[in-house]
Amino acid sequence: MLKKTVSIITAAVITGAAITATVAGARDYVSIVGSSTVYPFATTVAEQFGKSTKFSTPKVESTGSGGGLKLFCSGIGVSHPDITNASRRIKKSEYDKCQANGIKDIIEVKVGYDGIVLANSRKSAPMKLTRKDIFLALARQVPDAESGKLVDNPYKTWKEVNPSLPDIKIEVLGPPPTSGTRDAFAELAMEGGAKTFADMSALCKAKGDEVKPLMTKLGIPESGFNKKGKKVFQHIAHSIREDGAYIEAGENDNLIVQKLEANPKSLGIFGFSFLDQNEDKVQGSEIDGHMPTFEGISDGSYPVSRPLFFYVKKDHVSVIPGIKGYLAEFTSDKAWGEEGYLADKGMIPMPIEERAKFAADVKKLTPLVLQ
């Protein structure tokens, strides 16, 4: 008896599933993937759009910038996402993959900026850092003070890095290598710090034959050679020390905030929106003389900030209901403007001219061209 009913239900479900699967040819909601940094902003826009129109609320997945672009570029059609968010610009290789898979026209929309902050607990004194300090404190290999050759990072306390800093152990909680925040941090803070050394800066610009001598000067083994000096430079600047001074604290930025409270001597690396929401618990460190404030990031004076983007498939705009409306909502002043709700969520808006340019591009659906 029981057996029979169960088998009938099973059969019904399987056939039902098969039918719906074949029927699922159409999709009536916008599918968005991509960066976890853009996720809080994209979801806010999606919700506003869904609630204030008759369209379904777009679905936003948090897959990371790279994962999002991979999904985005895998093809055209309802089973592929319409929009991907990214906390960096699309790479040439990704763009080419898109082209190869028939995604000819991609609309690029820059939405604003995100600042990456180094913060500590309010129980301790605020830190005044430079990018050089950050590089010296966190890189795996740093130029030796005398010989200028790269050596394993010898610094144990901030005072050793820079005599004006307090005599406390270097302890930094930050995201793992898979995170977009970590990429941005390496690119903006660590590279910036590395470039303050003349030889490193030269290496970054060097090409072809110029690379080798610089490498010997810095004491980099032959095996790390690359024609482009920039690659060699990045490899060094992006390598973060693994001797315990830098602690990978997982992707969850809330967790880092909690850990800073528990250990007031440590610093944490996370996105500006988490600082914005937790100002009563943690304080941002000054970097190169600029505080991580809304204004500082917006006008570009705070050095560790990055632009945020999303990319749209033009061919989907006319097929999937709601894309146009979502784009209009995102690029409206009430969303991404200075007083807009995204600013409340911690996104730093672009200057008005930049906003106008991108809003116009979106309106005309001007596709992106990478040489």
Partner 1 sequence: MNNQKPMDIVQAGLAKRYKKEKRFKLIGLSAIIFSLMFLVFLFSSIFLNGYKAFYQAELRIDVFFDPALLDIKDPASANFDALVKKSLRTTFPDVKKRKEKKKLYGLVSTDGSFQLRDMVLADPALVGQNRSVWLLADDDVDMLMKGYIDRNLPQSDRRISDVQIGWIDKLIDAGRVKFRFNIGFFTNGDSREPESAGILGAAMGSFYMLAITLVLSFPIGIGAAIYLEEFAAKNRITDIIEVNINNLAAVPSIVFGLLGLAVFLNFFHLPRSAPLVGGLVLFLMTLPTIIITGRVALQSVPPSIREAALGVGASKMQAVLHHVLPLAMPGMLTGAIIGMARALGESAPLLMIGMVAFIVDIPAGITDPATALPVQIYLWADSPERAFVERTSAAIMVLLTFLVLMNGTAVYLRSKFERRW
The binding site for partner 1 (CB under 8 A) comprises: 3, 6-7, 9-10, 13-14, 16-17, 20-21, 24, 27, 29, 31, 33, 36, 39-40, 42-44, 46-48, 50-52, 54, 56-57, 59-63, 79, 81, 122, 251-254, 271, 273-274, 276-280, 339, 341, 344-346
- Pick the closer one to partner 1 by CB: 50 or 229: 50
- Pick the closer one to partner 1 by CB: 195 or 313: 313
- Pick the closer one to partner 1 by CB: 26 or 369: 26
Instruction: Compute and round to an integer the Cα radius of gyration of the chain.
Output: 24
Q: How far is the CB of 291 from partner 1 (least distance, A)?
A: 11
- Pick the closer one to partner 1 by CB: 101 or 196: 101
Q: How far is the CB of 35 from partner 1 (least distance, A)?
A: 13
Q: How far is the CB of 83 from partner 1 (least distance, A)?
A: 13
Helix axes 198-205 and 229-238, enclosed angle (nearest 10): 130
**For residue 243, what is the DSSP state?**
S
Residue with tokens 């920039």: 230
- Pick the closer one to partner 1 by CB: 16 or 213: 16
Check if the beta carbon of residue 212 is closer than 8 Å to that of residue 225. yes
Q: How far is the CB of 102 from partner 1 (least distance, A)?
A: 16
Q: What residues pair up with 34 in beta bridges, in sequence order?
A: 85
DSSP string over 146-192: TT--EEE----BHHHH-TTS-S-B--EEE--TTSHHHHHHIIIIIHH
Q: How far is the CB of 28 from partner 1 (least distance, A)?
A: 10
Residue 292: strand, helix, or coil: coil
Residue 287: strand, helix, or coil: strand
DSSP string over 44-58: HHHHHHHHHSSSPPP
What tokens appear for 21 in the block?
């699967």
Interstrand relation of 286-287 and 172-174 (parallel, antiparallel or unpaired) = unpaired
Residue 351: strand, helix, or coil: coil
**For residue 226, what is the DSSP state?**
-
Q: How far is the CB of 7 from partner 1 (least distance, A)?
A: 6
Q: How far is the CB of 82 from partner 1 (least distance, A)?
A: 12
Rounded CA separation 52/320 (Å): 18
- Pick the closer one to partner 1 by CB: 121 or 234: 121
Q: How far is the CB of 297 from partner 1 (least distance, A)?
A: 15
- Pick the closer one to partner 1 by CB: 63 or 87: 63
Tell me how far apart the 2 most distant CA atoms of the chain are, in Å. Answer: 86
- Pick the closer one to partner 1 by CB: 21 or 100: 21
Q: Which residues touch 158 (CB under 8 Å, ≥6 apart)?
A: 127, 133, 137, 165, 166, 167, 168, 170
Check if the beta carbon of residue 84 is closer than 8 Å to that of residue 107. no
